Amino acid sequence: MGGMTRPTPPQVAIIGAGPAGLMAAEVLSAAGVNVHVYDAMPSVGRKFLLAGLGGLNLTHAEPLEYFVQRYAERSEACAAWLNAFGPQAVRDWAQGLGIDTFVGSSQRIFPTDMKAAPLLRAWLHRLRHPTQGMPVTFHMRHRWNGQLQKSTAFDLGFDTPNGTHTAHADAVVLALGGGSWAKLGSDGAWQPWLKAAGVDVAPLRPANCGFDVQGRAGTDGSATTGWSAHLASQFAGTPLKSVALSFTDTAGHSFQRKGEFVVTATGVEGNLVYAASALLRDDIERHGHGHATLHLDLKPDFTAERVLAEVKHPRGSRSLSSHLKSRLSLTALHLALLHEVLSKEAMNDPAQLAAAIKHLPITLTATRPIDEAISSAGGVRLEALTDALMSTALPGVFVAGEMLDWEAPTGGYLLTACLASGRLAGQGASEFLSK
C-alpha cells in the first residue's frame, strides 16, 4: 500500500437550510464535496413549509423574457441565474423528486397535491442518501454567531443548546435569508457581521408587504394613522374582491391591476397590494414626506358614465346604502371605504360619489414592520460579489437567496430565484475548491 492515504474531500459549510442553502448543498454533494448544513431552527425548511401552507407556489409559467423582468432593476443579474436554472428547470427538478406540477389559472405553478412537505421530504432524503456524490450532513439548532475566521481554512462559530461549536470549512455558502419571518430563522442578524468584514450590505426593507393608511385629521389638525374605529372594528380581515388598484409614483412609474386585497385594522395587505408594494414603499421613502396615494376603482367593469347614471337613478324612499347595493352591488365595506374619504355632503352629491367609486384615493403612510412582510429587499449588494456569487471581500465565501440585494413579487418568482442563486453559489464554491 506504500502508506498512501486517500485525499479527503474538501468540506463546505452552508449556513441556512432554506431553498437556496439546500440547492447549494445539492450541487456540492453531487460534485463529491463533504457538505455540512447548519441552521438555527430545530428542523429544515421552516419558512419554506409555512410559505407552502396555502399551496406551494414553486414558479410561474410566463415566458422567460417576461419572467426575468419581474426582478426590476436586478433583472439583468437575475436573468443570468435564471437562464441556467429557470421555471422549466424548477419543474423538471421537482419531477426528479417524484413531484408532479401543474399550471394554475393565474399561470402560477404548484405541485399537484399543492403541498410543500412531500417535496421537502423527498429532497432531504436525496441529500442524505444520494445515488452518487457525498451525503449531506445537517446540524440543527446551530445558530451562527458571526465568527468567520480564515487561516488555512474557515473557522465558524455556532451557538448550540450544548454551548459554542466551532466548525472548519474550505469554503462557506451563506444562505441565511432576509429580514422577514424572524421566528422562522431569517432575522437579518448577519448584517453587522458582514459589514464589519468589509462586505457591502444594503439596508433590509420590507417587500411584498402591507401598509398603514393615513387616518382622518385629528381635532388638532394632525393626521392620524389607521382607519376610523368603525371601519377597523367592523371590517378588519375582510377581503375586498374585484377591485382595480392604480398608482403612479413621483418618478412617473405606473401600476394598474385588477385583483383583491384585505383590509386590516390599520391599513391594507394582500396580493394586489403586494404587487404594487415596491413602488409604494419606494415612493413613501423617496421624498421623506412619508406618504403615497393609490386609487381604487370599486367597479372596474363599469364605465364612469354608467356608475354616474346608476348613482343618479331615482331612489325613492330607499336609503343611500340600499340604493347603491341594488344598483351597483356595493357592499357595506365599499360604503365604509367611501365614508373614510368623502364627507357627508360629498356622499350625497352624485357627481362626487360616482367619481370616488371609480377613483377612490387611499393615502398610505408607512409599510408594516419587516417581520410581517412576505420577503425583504436589500441585502448583500451584487456589486460586492463575483458572477459566481463569491464575496470579493471574503474570497471563499458565497452568498445566495434572500440575503442578496434583489426583490421580486409573489407568484413563484422569489422561490425560483432563491433556487437558481443557490445553485450558482454551489457551482461557484465547487469551482473555487477545484483551483
Same domain, 218 and 165: no
- Together in a domain, 152 and 184: yes
Rounded mean pLDDT, 89-113: 96
Shared domain check, 200 and 55: yes
Are 147 and 196 in the same domain? Answer: yes
Same domain for 165 and 229, yes or no, is: no
* Residues 231 and 359 placed together within one structural domain of the fold: yes
Q: In this predicted structure, what is the pLDDT of residue 218?
A: 55
Residue 94 lies in a domain: yes
Closest by CA to 403, choosing from 137, 186, 140, 127, is 186
Please check the confidence at residue 5 and state whether its pLDDT lies above 60: no
Q: Quick check: 142 and 158 in contact, CB under 8 A?
A: yes
The whole-chain average pLDDT of the chain stands at 94
- Does 135 share its domain with 254? no
- Quick check: 270 pLDDT over 80? yes
Digit-coded pLDDT (tens) for 122-140: 999 999 999 999 999 999 9
Choose the weakest-confidence range: 49-63, 186-200, 236-250: 49-63
Indicate the residue among 367, 402, 419 that finishes a domain: 367
Q: Is residue 6 part of a domain?
A: no
pLDDT on residue 202: 97
Q: How many domains does the chain have?
A: 2
Task: Mark whether 408 and 311 lie in a shared domain.
Answer: no
Q: In whole angstroms, what is the distance from residue 365 CA to residue 125 CA?
A: 47
pLDDT category of residue 1 using cuts at 50, 70 and 90: very low
Note whether 215 and 328 are same-domain residues: yes
Contact 47, 186 (CB under 8 A): yes
CATH number at residue 411: 3.50.50.60
Same domain, 40 and 177: yes
pLDDT at residue 3 tops 60: no
Task: Grade residue 8 by pLDDT with cuts at 50, 70 and 90.
Answer: confident
pLDDT score at 360: 97
Residue 428's φ and ψ, nearest 5 degrees, are -60, -45
Residue range(s) defining the domain that contains residue 189: 11-205+377-434
- pLDDT tops 60 at residue 4: no
Q: Are residues 228 and 94 in the same domain?
A: no
| CA–CA separation, 379 and 389 (whole Å) | 13
Segment 81-86 mean pLDDT: 97
324 within a domain of the structure (yes/no): yes
Domain match, 179 and 295 both: no
Neighbours of 400 (CB within 10 A): 34
Q: Name which residue leads in pLDDT, 216 or 189.
A: 189
Q: Which of 341, 367, 393 is the last residue of a domain?
A: 367
Provide the pLDDT confidence category of residue 225 given band limits of 50, 70 and 90.
confident
Residue 7 has pLDDT above 70, yes or no: no
- The three cell numbers of residue 244 are 382595480
Residue 299 included in any domain = yes
**Res. 152 pLDDT band, cuts 50 70 90:** confident
Q: pLDDT tens digits for 278-333?
A: 999 999 998 766 899 999 999 999 999 999 999 999 988 999 999 999 999 999 99
**Radius of gyration, CA atoms only, the chain:** 25
The bridge status of strand 11-15 relative to strand 34-38 is parallel
Residue 219 has pLDDT above 90, yes or no: no
